[in-house]
């Protein structure tokens, strides 16, 4: 077995357990240890490591509107340099197989949250715009949603093609909502995306879903930027 990222051979310690239940690890130990899972106290709205229940950013969001459009976002990993490297190869250089690095941990995180979520929740991945989807050949958010043990519904569409990363924080927050709902849904939704940065994308998506009658929106993201 080779590491999905650096291609080094993965040497498994041979024990009675691994002999009968061979572990399928996507990464070698060095790569695995270079990814950092968020642990300890965190903001329960946005997953930022924080001693308080709600971080300053989330208090700010609260003041901005009476009703937040996502109940909470839960992120799995910190955004460190190694993660940046993987993401850039995965997304921007289109190596879709790198997504499998995250399958196990992403699904395990969902299972950990499961008891706090509504029963019939469905996964809705954040879409790419058509152009980007064509260039990349896959949507990383849809790939992540596919790892979850629940139904995925790709019901959002993105209407504008502006590059988010070129805008300042305030421009992003004030920008028009890029999402439209293709098909209204009356089930609770867990939005799935690769990264939570300012939270604007997920809140925009949450807003259109709620407006179309969706009863509950939360989010699961791979990384807290
Ligand atoms: Zn490796
Ligand atoms: Zn927060």
Cα–ligand 1 centroid distance for 13 (angstroms):
16
* Protein residues within 5 Å, CB atom, of ion ligand 1: 3, 5-6, 28, 31
**CB within 8 A of 110, min separation 6: which ones?**
148, 149, 150, 190, 220
| Ligand 2 centroid to residue 48 C-alpha, Å | 6
Residue 88 CA, ligand 1 centroid: distance in Å = 16
- By DSSP bridging, strand 179-181 and strand 189-196 are unpaired
Q: Are the C-beta atoms of residues 183 and 155 closer than 8 Å to each other? A: yes
CA of 25 to the centre of ligand 2 (A): 32
pLDDT tens track for 167-206: 666 665 556 899 999 999 999 999 999 999 999 999 999 9
pLDDT at 23: 67
Ligand 2 mean position, distance from CA 169 (Å): 16
**Termini Cα distance of the chain:** 31
For 29-71, give the DSSP string: HHHHHHS-B--S-B-TTT--B-SSSS-HHHHHHHHH-SS-SSS
Place of tokens 């209204």: 184
Ligand nearest to the CA of 31: 1
Per-residue model confidence as pLDDT tens digits over 15-57: 777 667 666 789 999 999 999 999 999 999 999 999 999 999 8
3-state helix, strand, coil in the chain (%, to 5): 40, 15, 45
Residue 24 alpha carbon to ligand 2 centre in Å: 34
The ligand with the least distance to the CA atom of 49 is 2
Residues 55-102 pLDDT 10s: 998 888 788 777 789 999 999 999 999 999 999 999 988 899 999 999
Percent with pLDDT over 90 in the chain: 73
pTM summary value: 0.90
User: In the prediction, which pLDDT does 18 show?
Assistant: 67
Decide: residue 60, CB within 10 A, 0-12 exposed, 13-18 middle, 19+ buried. Answer: exposed
Of residues 57 and 152, the one with the higher pLDDT is 152
pLDDT of residue 174: 59
For the four alpha carbons of 208, 210, 213 and 219, in that order, the dihedral sign comes to positive
């Amino acid at each position: 077995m080779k590491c999905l990222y650096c291609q080094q051979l993965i040497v498994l310690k041979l024990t009675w357990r691994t002999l009968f239940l061979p572990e399928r690890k996507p990464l070698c130990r060095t790569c695995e240890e270079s990814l950092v899972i968020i642990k300890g106290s965190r903001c329960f709205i946005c997953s930022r490591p924080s001693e308080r229940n709600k971080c300053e950013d989330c208090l700010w969001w609260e003041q901005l509107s009476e009703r937040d459009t996502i109940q909470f976002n839960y992120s799995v990993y910190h955004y460190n340099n190694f993660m940046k490297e993987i993401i850039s190869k995965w997304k921007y250089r289109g190596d879709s197989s790198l997504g499998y690095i995250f399958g196990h941990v992403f699904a395990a995180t969902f299972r950990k949250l499961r008891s706090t979520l509504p029963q019939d929740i469905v996964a809705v991945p954040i879409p790419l715009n058509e152009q980007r989807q064509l260039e990349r050949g896959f949507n990383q958010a849809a790939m992540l949603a596919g790892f979850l043990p629940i139904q995925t519904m790709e019901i959002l569409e993105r209407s504008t093609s502006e590059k988010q990363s070129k805008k300042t924080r305030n421009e992003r927050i004030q920008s028009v909502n890029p999402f439209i709902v293709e098909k209204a849904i009356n089930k609770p939704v867990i939005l799935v995306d690769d990264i939570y940065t300012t939270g604007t994308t997920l809140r925009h998506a949450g807003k259109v879903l709620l407006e179309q009658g969706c009863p509950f929106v939360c989010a699961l993201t791979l990384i807290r930027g």
